[in-house]
Amino acid sequence: MTQARLKLPLGIQTFSKLREEGCYYVDKTPLLLKLVEGGTHYFLSRPRRFGKSLLLDTLAELFECNEPLFRGLYIHDRWDWSRRAPVIRLSFAEGVLHEREALDAKIDELLEENESYLGLSRAGHSRSGRFSRLISAAHEMTGERVVVLVDEYDKPILDNLTDPEAARALRDGLRDLYSVIKGQDAHIRFAFLTGVSKFSKVSIFSGLNNLNDITLDASYSSICGYTEADLDEVFAPELEELDRAEIRHWYNGYNWTGEAVYNPFDLLLLFDKRTFRPWWFETGTPTFLIQLLTERQVWLPELDRLETDADLLSSFDVDHIATEALLFQSGYLTIAEELHLEGSYFYRLCYPNREVEQSLNAHLLRAWSPDETATVKRRIALLRLLRANDFSGIEQLFRAFFASIPNDWYRKNPIARYEGYYASVFYSHFAALGLDLRLEDVTQVGRIDMTLHFNGQWYLFEFKVVEQDAEGRALAQIKARGYADKYRASGEPMHLIGLEFSRAQRALVGFEVESLS
């Protein structure tokens, strides 16, 4: 029997609206029941637009015992619908706050909304005192311990990362508020805080050391997002005439040490528009991220194989933001492999999918090039030249690009003053096209800087930075070390390409090609 098509829950973050309007819904209630039965205080970090708000709204409806909404779901026959709990909701998802005064006004507004909803009068002079009294009074009035749900707990700080002084002031205001949750533990049945980043407990969760951080808990890896099984069981009608492998290549791959998931925002827009595009990425990449990667002179080919440990991956603060933590927590990198060595956990990171790799490199390429319009034209030209195996044209394309960069631009941009800039920009032109690239591919005799598999052919690239003029060392190394041997078994044509960049001339001075049939 063919499954009927339902309404796509585009932009819907309200559980009641989703259920009442007959939308597709991926049943997350087995995991919610596990949370409630297994503990009382939780924290979860996930990138933007991953369904955190819907998750919290579902919890609110569950604890408020709105039983009709859960009919047909896993939890319906396993929940005590007679035990209604008072729910306090705090959300910083809306608006942008740049000053402590604006944050204080927002907190006052949120507390007033909860007091009105629960039928309680305002009490307490300080904001922390008012929040504290709200929790205890709700418990006293109902006889049930309180549920506290905080959505986008860190957004006021993240919106001000380019202004550390403002970010610190907002962080201190939020720390004062969140400290109440620990102090009112006797009156709390369940607490759940969600956000994009995981700030250190010292910086924002001071004293709140009873939070169970489930961000990297394998059993909750799919608590937000859609799994492969979800596509088959829930969205089967939407898969018609769409290439399943292409869907997976474009949008799957986010992993928090458990089952990999798709970004819901991407899939819903794909099903609606029937077109593969970087839907999630186009909703906004923070300029702060681009600035930080530029200031730190990050070698772009390295992003897809960064290694880190558990402490660095989960730490984040206004005055110390590790590149790995920022990229992972914001969703631009994900976990490729978890290693447990001598009692410590280490992680190898990678791009989650084509959308992120292609879009991030295109975004950085525009930021790292003097002329954004010309950058787009070069990418189009490069693809055409590759299809024709026009190596002379490719050489001219890049020689002209590096020669066109004015000295003043080099002087003003820190990224252009380090040696890895040349190879990074060259690599990004290919990565921004979404091509099948492999970086430092391992052979028996060494590592190839960049390997491209395209149009049934292999392209092996080696980069060298020389003092002045071309020395011919790049191509010579590919041949001397027999890098091509690994790919001969494929029977596909190969092209060995050596590139040399002059440190003194700031230009591409060597471009040698040898094709093997």
Other beta carbons less than 10 A from residue 403's beta carbon: 11
Q: What is the pLDDT of residues 192-214, one digit of tens each?
A: 999 998 876 556 766 666 789 99
Domain ranges of the chain: 27-220, 285-350, 368-516
Closest CA to 143 of 79, 187, 192, 182: 187
Cα–Cα distance for residue pair 41/322, rounded to 1 Å: 27
Cα–Cα distance for residue pair 486/145, rounded to 1 Å: 64
Cα–Cα distance for residue pair 478/50, rounded to 1 Å: 44
Angle at 372 between CA 369 and CA 373, to 5 degrees: 140
Taken in order 439, 442, 448, 449, is the CA torsion positive or negative?
A: positive
Residue 393, amino acid: G
Closest CA to 87 of 48, 56, 42: 56
For 27-220, CATH gives: 3.40.50
Q: What is the pLDDT of residues 330-383, one digit of tens each?
A: 999 999 999 888 888 899 999 999 999 999 999 888 888 877 788 889 999 999
Residue 188, amino acid: I
Tokens of 458: 């292999």
Q: What are the residues whose beta carbons fall under 8 Å from the beta carbon of 292, sequence distance 6 or more?
A: 321, 323, 326
Q: What is the pLDDT of residues 285-299, one digit of tens each?
A: 677 788 888 777 777
| pLDDT at residue 210, as a whole number | 76
Residue 450: its H or E element: strand 446-454
| pLDDT at residue 117, as a whole number | 96
| pLDDT at residue 413, as a whole number | 65
Q: What is the pLDDT of residues 381-418, one digit of tens each?
A: 999 999 999 999 999 999 998 888 777 666 666 665 56
Other beta carbons less than 10 A from residue 486's beta carbon: 17
Q: What is the pLDDT of residues 297-341, one digit of tens each?
A: 777 778 888 889 888 887 778 878 888 888 999 999 999 999 888
Other beta carbons less than 10 A from residue 56's beta carbon: 24
307-309, strands of its sheet edge to edge: 307-309, 344-350, 334-341
pTM: 0.91
In which band, very low, low, confident or very high, does the pLDDT at 433 lie, cut at 50, 70 and 90?
Answer: very high
Cα–Cα distance for residue pair 461/391, rounded to 1 Å: 12
Closest CA to 70 of 38, 28, 34: 28
Q: What is the pLDDT of residues 445-499, one digit of tens each?
A: 567 889 999 999 999 999 988 888 888 899 999 999 988 988 988 999 999 999 9
Cα–Cα distance for residue pair 85/369, rounded to 1 Å: 56
Q: Comparing 300 with 61, which gets the higher pLDDT?
A: 61
Q: Is the pLDDT of residue 52 over 60?
A: yes
